[in-house]
Structure formats: C-alpha cells, structure tokens
Amino acid sequence: MPDLFPPFPLFDLEATQAVCLVWTWRKDASNEVRSRPPASSERTFPRRFQPRGSAMHYRTALLAIGLSLASLPAFSQSFVSSERYSDNPMNGVGVAHNAYTGCMAANYTGGGVSAHVENLVKRCGTPTEGDDAGFIRKHIELANATRGDTRLSMAENLRAYRSSFTVEQFAYFEDVDRILAEAASPEEADRGLKALEDQAIKYLGRSDDDLAVLGAISTARHSTELWTQQNPIAASAQGKIPGWLQVAIADATGFVSGVKACGKLCGWVNAAIQSISTAFEVWGDND
C-alpha cells in the first residue's frame, strides 16, 4: 500500500529555470481547450469577480512552481496559511496538491492531461507500486471522467455524490462555495476556509466520508493560496468567474471525485491533475 502523502518532488535551480520553457508555451489546434459558453438552462456559480488579464497566462507556470515551494517545510513560514502544523488529519492532501502541481507546471511542454499524468510519474516521483504504465492509464481515464464544470459550484459539481454524504457533511461543500464567492481578498478567503476547517476538525468524525470532507477543505485552502498570490481578487460588475476560483473549485471537486472513485491516493493525485489542467485551460487562451 503506497503512502498517502509520499515524499514531495525535489526542486532545484535547474527545475526553476526550466519553467522559462513553459513560459514560451502557446496553444495550438491540437492542444487548445476552450470553455464552452454557459447554456441558458444551467445555473452558474455565484459571481462577483473579474479575472486578471492576459499577463496571467505567462505567469501561470512560474507562479505554480514558486508557490509550491511554500508547501515544503523550509519555505512554509513565507505564506499566511502555510503553517508548520495543522490539526487536520488531511492537511497533507493540500500540501501535496501544491507541491505536485508546481512540479507538473515546471515540466509541462504541451500535451494536455496525458502529459500532466506522465510528468507526475516520470518527473515528479509519484508512487505507482511498480506499475507506471497502469498508473498513468488509470489516472488519465480518472481525470477525464471526473472533469468538473468550471461554471458551477463545488456542491453542484458533486451533486452525484450527495446521497453518499450526510446532510452535515455535504453542507461543508456548500460552505466552501459561499466563502470563496464572498471573499473580497485572498486573505479573507484564507481566513474563512481556515475557520471552516477548524470547525470541521472539531465536529466531524474520522470516517472515510468525514476525511473526504476534511481533505476537500484542505485542498481548497491550499489551492486558493497557490493561485491568488500576485493575482488579487477584484470585484466585478460584469459577473465573470475569476480564474483562481474556477481552479480552486476544480481542485476540491477533483479530490472528492478521486476519493470516491478509488480512495485517498486517487483523491490528491486527481486534485493536482485537475489543478494544472484547469489552470492552463482558464488562462491558456490569453495571449
């Protein structure tokens, strides 16, 4: 049985420099993924914000690799929510999410989900129990099958699993949505998610579904930290969903979907894959 939270990928100067290659990445006809316009019959996520402009496209990879370092112990004191210790038994999910997302960003040269999963194994050291090919195939299929709708909330994306959670457990997903939608700054989002996490630690048990909720909150909190650095939340009268919010929801949703599909390891792996995939989708169309 592999460790739930394996050793994090190592980052060195060469890895940091390699991200410059990612900066030169451009979409092409074979790799481009565009968000389809919302159908009038679908209810969209509560919207208050305006995403940043095209410069974010060029910062995506460097931001991910740089901030993933904050998840490692030596860097943890630099960021608001990167505490050295957490009472959340699933805190490692969020830490692993940021570290491996950064590693995939640094090694990305195109190719979509399949390339992300291959890098996760071949360049980032994710444990596969000796079956690299099987792991890659499994997680490509899982990532594609559990792809969320970036126009919808976490609770809406997880409605297929509603019956497997208690009312109290599922309410935490709705609380994550509310906190992220109402936050006026990254710091406010972080404080709200940390307070919700503390509440969940206190009142939830430690069943598999309780741990899925705790892991989802940890993922949302760390993802928000990752993608809002140098990308401040700004209010919008146009009612557009900001990129960081789309990515955070995709990440937390991906964790729960992965857990439900094949357990905790699948959860954090799927969350990291959804994170980098959604980030390049959201910001990749900006030249």
Within a domain: 229: yes
Instruction: Residue 241: name the closest of 81, 67, 43, 58 by CA.
Output: 43
Residue 228 domain-assigned (yes or no) = yes
Contacts of 243 (CB under 8 A, 6+ apart): 51, 52, 56, 227, 231, 279, 282, 283
Q: Tell me, yes or no, whether 28 lies in a domain.
A: no
Report for 26-35, 72-81, 163-172, 244-253: range of highest mean pLDDT: 163-172
In a domain, 156, yes or no: yes
More confident residue, 7 or 103: 103
Share of the chain above pLDDT 70, in %: 66
Query: Of the given ranges (33-42, 142-151, 205-214), which has the lowest mean pLDDT?
Result: 33-42
Answer whether residue 67 shows pLDDT above 90. no
Domain that holds residue 83: 47-283
5 is a domain residue? no
The residue among 25 and 68 whose pLDDT is bigger is 68
| Token pair recorded at residue 99 | 């570290």
Establish if 203 belongs to a structural domain: yes
In a domain, 129, yes or no: yes
Q: What is the pLDDT of residue 240?
A: 67
256-287 pLDDT tens trace: 999 999 999 999 999 999 999 999 888 874 33
Does 172 map to a domain? Answer: yes
Total domains in the chain come to 1
- Proportion of the chain above pLDDT 90, given as a percent: 52
- Whether the model clears a pTM of 0.85, i.e. scores above it, the answer is no
State the pLDDT confidence band at 78, using cuts at 50, 70 and 90.
Answer: very low
For residue range 106-161, list pLDDT tens digits in order: 898 888 999 999 999 999 999 898 899 999 999 999 999 999 998 899 999 999 99
Mean pLDDT of 243-266: 94
